Amino acid sequence: LNVRAAWPFSQGTGVTIAIADMGVQISHPEFLEPSANQPHYNFDNGNTNGAQLASTENHGTAVAGYAVARGNNGLGISGVAPAASLASWKMLGATEEAIGTMFQFMSNTVGVQNHSWLNSGSGLIGNTALEEAGLSNALTFGRSGRGVLMTRAAGNDDR
């Protein structure tokens, strides 16, 4: 991506990006500021702690870095939207009902959702009816009718 060409127009100021994954290490120095007072949530157990719970659950943290790392701060990379805010949504063990809720969760606050996960070990499979309803609501009614922007991985196998 040539994001530097877009930065004169926008670096994500005023946008909240939700990383739906294993959780994000929101205590990491790159994420302290962008994650402050944001709608974190654990859809696996229904609490407001979206942080990664185990050191092996680091995928969401890496993805968050690509999205919102501040850059030019001596800590590492710059994300695609270094001025955006960050919400961590832990959801890899969630029920289909919780995933349906997740898609539309805080859809007037969260403008972008990143889904860098698969719901099958062998590739993408279709959404259930509950998941599809939540997704449709977010895309239709989110951001006051402008729709939430969704990104979805096609896989993590470099293929």
Which tens digit of pLDDT belongs to each residue from 113-147? 999 886 555 555 678 899 999 999 999 999 999 99
**pLDDT number for residue 122:** 56
By C-alpha distance, which of 86, 109, 96 is closest to 135? 96
pTM assigned to the model = 0.91
**pLDDT number for residue 123:** 57
123, 141, 12, 30 alpha-carbon torsion, rounded to 10°: -60
46, 50, 51, 57 alpha-carbon torsion, rounded to 10°: 80
Q: What is the mean pLDDT of the chain?
A: 90
- 159 pLDDT band, cuts 50/70/90, is very low
- 156 pLDDT band, cuts 50/70/90, is low
Structure-token pair, residue 117: 């996960």
